[in-house]
């Protein structure tokens, strides 16, 4: 499988549907609408393993508005709201 090459379009993880797999390209915490400050949000995402190069897969979605999502990040599973996941740019 060569689906993680540079030709894949970049998109926020917050828009990904169940079953999506990709690799984190970078974090962009501007204008996500999260209650956290940009720096705080970025720090927390990093602390939970959302760093450049990590493989992600959207495993589950909630009932209301497909939110929150359960994301496999390398070897662990993290639940996040889509609003915060908008800061994670994947391809």
Using CB under 8 A as the criterion, which residues of the chain lie in contact with another protein when the complex forms? 34-36, 39-49, 51-52, 59-68, 70, 72, 74-81, 83-84
Least spacing, CB of residue 64 vs another protein, in Å: 4
d(CA 14, CA 5): 21
**1, 26, 35, 83 from 39: Cα distances, Å:** 35, 14, 12, 15
Q: Which is nearer to another protein, 31 or 47 (CB)?
A: 47
Q: Can you tell me whether residue 4 is helix, strand or coil?
A: coil
Least spacing, CB of residue 31 vs another protein, in Å: 14
Runs of H (alpha helix) within the chain: 38-47, 82-85
Least spacing, CB of residue 79 vs another protein, in Å: 5
Q: Which is nearer to another protein, 70 or 91 (CB)?
A: 70
């Amino acid at each position: 499988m060569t689906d993680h090459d540079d030709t894949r379009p970049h998109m926020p993880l917050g828009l990904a549907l169940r079953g999506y797999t990709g690799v984190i390209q970078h974090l962009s915490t501007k204008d996500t609408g999260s209650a956290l400050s940009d720096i705080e949000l970025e720090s927390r995402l990093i602390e939970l393993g959302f760093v450049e190069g990590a493989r992600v897969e959207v495993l589950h979605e909630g009932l209301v508005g497909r939110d929150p999502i359960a994301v496999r990040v390398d070897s662990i599973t993290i639940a996040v709201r889509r609003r915060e996941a908008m800061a994670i740019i994947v391809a």
